Amino acid sequence: MIYNICNRNYNSPILTGHCMAVVEDLKKEAGIAACKYVKNGMKIGLGTGSTVKYTIIELGRRIAEEDLQIMGVPTSEVTKELAQSLNIPLSDLAEIGKLDLTIDGADEFDPNYNLIKGGGGALTREKIVALASNAMVVVADDRKQVSTLGQFPLPVEVTVSNWESVKEQISHICPGDVNLRETTEVPFVTDNGGYILDCNFGPMISKPDVLEKRINAFEGVVEVGLFVGICDVVIISSSSGIKTSTKPNGRLS
């Protein structure tokens, strides 16, 4: 199969042009497939990332061509701008309250439907929106599927004033490097005005709920990129097609 010859490690050097195109096609398929959960009149959390952007584009198409009636709540400024460009009606949680569904991406997901998120830096708003939803659907390609979380560096949003002390505290429990995320040699700043620490735990986060609570206890932590017990469905795209994996006894089972 064509996809199997491509580099499946997203932390490795850049994929070849052909393989990048294959991966992008798979992302598009998964993003569009998630739209089957969206019904007329729903209030939808709109996630952030390179896969869920295709969900948002498809929702925009359905609004324009099929008269789909929804209200969206974006999880980032990037998503807000994309949704606005597609004429998707938007609101915020303060006005809308409970959401019917959130569709978002993930950097990793394990067999228990736990996630690592935050590669795009929007983890705090993403978690707030997901927790305000009746269900959560994740779209991802199969490179993101792991047996144990942690190969992807765990993002932790921190306050600007406390980032150094948080980094020191996390370093005591993280076996790998804890790095301040930078862009063009200056700290990356989230939509909330915070910094991101990328924590290289390695594939050993077998109890993500315990680790999440431990890191959240450090003064200066805004949010941890572990999403535990929130995801109900993962739509996985691979060379063999689209697979929908539904959490047993989940909210969409």
99's tokens: 């959401």
The verdict on residue 252 lying in a domain is: no
DSSP conformation class of 62: H
Give the pLDDT mean for 21-25. 79
Is residue 110 predicted with pLDDT exceeding 80? yes
Co-location of 45 and 116 in the same domain: yes
Judgement on whether residues 116 and 83 belong to the same structural domain of the protein: yes
Please report, for the domain that includes residue 180, its CATH number.
3.30.70.260
Same domain? For 159 and 106 the reply is no
Q: Looking at the 3D structure of the chain, how many domains does it have? A: 2
User: Are both 103 and 216 inside the same structural domain?
Assistant: no
Candidate list 126, 157, 212, 223, residue with the active-site label:
126
Geometric angle at alpha carbon 117, from 115 and 119, rounded to 5°? 145
Say yes or no: 14 and 113 in one domain: yes
For residue 236, being part of any structural domain is answered with yes
* Domain shared by 113 and 211, yes or no: no
Residue 246: inside a domain, yes or no? no
Measured distance CA(76)–CA(20) in Å, rounded: 25
Residue 126 annotated as catalytic: yes
Question: What is the reported pLDDT for 2?
Answer: 30
Q: What share of the chain is helix, strand, coil (3-state, %, to 5)?
A: 35, 25, 40
Q: Please tell me whether residues 44 and 114 are part of one structural domain.
A: yes
The pLDDT value recorded for residue 25 is 85
Per-residue model confidence as pLDDT tens digits over 112-140: 999 999 999 999 999 999 999 999 999 99
Output the six-digit token pair for 227. 């999403």
| Phi, then psi, of 7 in degrees rounded to 5 | -65, 120
Q: Model confidence over 175-195: pLDDT tens digits? A: 999 999 999 889 999 999 999
Tens digits of per-residue pLDDT, 49-59? Answer: 889 999 999 99
H helix and E strand count, the chain = 7, 15
Q: Using CA atoms in the order 193, 198, 147, 240, what is the torsion angle rounded to 10 degrees?
A: 70
Q: What domain range is 27 assigned to?
A: 2-146+229-240
Does residue 191 lie within any of the structural domains? yes
pLDDT given for residue 16 in this prediction: 62
The verdict on 33 and 79 lying in the same domain is yes
Please, which pLDDT band fits residue 201 given cuts at 50, 70 and 90?
very high
What integer pLDDT is reported at residue 240 of this predicted model? 85
Consecutive H or E run containing 180: strand 178-180
Judged against a pLDDT cut of 60, whether residue 151 lies above it is answered with yes
**Cα–Cα dist 142/14, whole Å:** 17
State the pTM of this model.
Answer: 0.91
Does residue 11 have a pLDDT over 60?
A: no
Torsion of CA 174, 209, 105, 157, to 10 degrees: -50
